[in-house]
Structure formats: C-alpha cells, structure tokens
Amino acid sequence: MKRPFVVVLLYLVSAVLCGACASLTSKQENESPLRVIDVHTHADFSGKQEETSGILQTREQFVRELKEAGVVGAVSHSPQGGGSIDDSLKSEGVIHCFGVGAQVTPSKVEVGLKSGRYGCIKIYLGYVHRWAYDNEYRPLYRLAEKYDVPVVFHTGDPYSTKAKLKFTDPLTVDEVAVDFPKVRFVIAHCGNPWHASAAEVAFKNPNVYLECSAFLIGDLTKYSPEVIDRHVVQPISWIFSYVDDPTKIMFGTDWPLVGIKPYLEVYKRAIPKADWPAVFHDNAARVFKIKR
C-alpha cells in the first residue's frame, strides 16, 4: 500500500530532525568541560563574611566555589610580608604568591621559592609607595629569573584609601619588562581603569601578561545587565582585541571580592569561544607552571 505524499514527507522531516538532534547530543556529550584556572584569589581565611561581596571567607567556601566553576587550579596572593598559607590547598591545584610588603627581604622570598611553598611573587604597587622599577625590587626580579617564576603587580584602583594611585599606573611595568626580558610579568586587574596602558604594555612586551580580575566586585546579581556589560564585558573584549594575541590574557576574579562562577560567566561573554581554552586555562598553566 502506497503511503500518501504528506505522510512520507512528514516521515522524512522527522527522520532528518531526529538525526540532527542525535548529532547535536553526541557532539555535546563529546565536548570536554571547560577547565579553568583562576590566577587571582586570596586564600587567607578569616572565617568572616567579606564586607563587599558577603562571601564567607573559609576554606570550605573557597573549595566549593572552585569546584562549582570547574576550576582545576588557582593562584592565591598572600598578604604583604608573606603571611601564613594553607599548604593543604595544593591538593586543589592552588599555588601561592609571596606578597611583598614595604620591607623587602629577598632572602626570605628566596627561601619560599626554593622550598616550593611559593610559586610566584606579588608586588602591591600603590599599597606600598614605591615604583615597579624601584631598586628595592630589582633583587626580586633576579630571583624570579633564577627560579623561573612570574612576578605579579597590583595595578589600577586599590582597595584602600591609603594607597597612592601614581604608583599603580601599569605603564611603569614597561620599564622592568625591558630590563628583565627573561622574567614573566603579570599585570593584575589590567590596570583598571587604565586598560589602554596595560594593554599596550602587554602588546609591546613579549614577557608581559594580563588578567582582568575585579572589574566589578560584590554580588554581581545586584548590578544591572547594562552596568555589567559596560564595566566588564566591553572593556575585556576591547583589551582582547587590542592585544590581538589570545596567549596574553588570563582569567582571574580576586575572590572573595567577587564570586568565582558569576565572574567566570561574565568573563566568557568577552572572549570568543574558540579562545576559551587558552584564556581560561592554558595561558595560566604555562605562565604560572600549574600542572593538574
């Protein structure tokens, strides 16, 4: 018995649609989840709620947020002077940056680098009233070269009224990048709000990298979509386009000033999907030598 034309047509359309759905499902199943490294966190746990974001500053909360966001590695920036660190976080892929305070003690920094307790050096420009190219810091850059670790600079708007903005200008990083070409330098916060200066320093110097943490802080659900787009998505998108090199930009949050997963989802909107593996994982794994 011959099938009516309409029935045959419906059968063919149904078959095509089912095939497409099966193909899409198969593709989705085969796609690996995005692995993420957060290069800017603060894992010094007070047990209290952070006043801006309301995030509880505990190890449990930190690890929970890492897992929820698919974070397989992170960089924790210790307070000025080094401070105490949680060595057990190594099991979560966390490495620590030695936070350099007003008193620079290269011997203490070297002990931390040599032992492996620290995997990078953090310099708090602005909080400490000293230029990036100050002679006090030069021994630290030589240590970074010796132990093959990156140096991270706080740049841009500080979280303190006692900090001095002139020291946080990312343009000054150009001086040390030129003088120490074998050292990997990371401009934290991409100099926010001086994005253009930071982007140019990274564009010009092959040993300078950017991370765009804390462009907004607090509970992101309390911001309008327009504010998030204007202050986070558009600037990161412009920076990515200007630098024109997907190997130069990394993901960072500045936890606990902002939740990891909410910031990740906003950050994704600024980066072409094809470049997600590089920006959200591979660049950080290479620059900070994180192996997971």
The pLDDT-based confidence of 9 (bands split at 50, 70, 90) is: very low
What does the pLDDT look like over 14-41, one tens digit per residue? 443 444 444 434 444 456 899 999 999 9
Q: What is the mean pLDDT of residues 90-97?
A: 95
Q: How far apart are CA 241 and CA 37, in angstroms?
A: 21
Residue 199 has pLDDT above 50, yes or no: yes
pLDDT of residue 59: 97
Averaged pLDDT for residues 252-264:
98
Residues 6+ apart with CB under 8 A from 30: none
pLDDT at 62: 98
CA 77 to centroid of chain Cα atoms: 11
3-state DSSP assignment of residue 175: helix
Are residues 250 and 209 in contact, defined by beta-carbon separation less than 8 angstroms?
yes
Question: Residue 84: its pLDDT value, please?
Answer: 75
Max Cα distance, the chain (Å): 93
Task: Give the model confidence (pLDDT) of 111-155 as tens digits.
Answer: 999 999 999 999 999 999 999 999 999 999 999 999 999 999 999
Determine which of 86-95, 123-132, 176-185, 243-252 has the lowest per-residue pLDDT on average. Answer: 86-95
pLDDT at 31: 67
Class of domain 33-287: alpha beta
- Give 160-171 pLDDT, tens digit per residue: 999 999 999 999
pLDDT band, residue 291 (cuts 50/70/90):
confident
pLDDT at 82: 73
pLDDT at 277: 98
Phi-psi region of 50 (alpha: psi -120 to 50; beta: other; left: phi over 0): beta
Q: What angle do CA 62, 108, 82 make, to 5 degrees?
A: 25
Tens-digit pLDDT profile for residues 50-84: 999 999 999 999 999 999 999 999 999 999 887 77
Per DSSP, the three-state class of 251 is: coil
Cβ(239)–Cβ(190) below 8 Å: yes
Cis peptide before 193 (omega within 30 of 0): yes
Question: C-alpha angle 103/104/107, rounded to 5°?
Answer: 130
- Composition of the chain by helix, strand, coil, percent to 5: 45, 15, 35
**Predicted pLDDT at 231:** 98
Which pLDDT score is estimated for 32? 82
Q: What is the mean pLDDT of the chain?
A: 91
- Assign 85 a pLDDT band (cuts: 50, 70, 90): confident
Strands across the sheet containing 151-154 = 36-41, 71-77, 94-100, 120-123, 151-154, 185-188, 208-211, 249-250
- Number of Cα atoms under 13 Å in the Cβ half of residue 46: 11
Q: Of the candidates 35, 33, 37, which has an alpha carbon nearest to the alpha carbon of residue 252?
A: 37
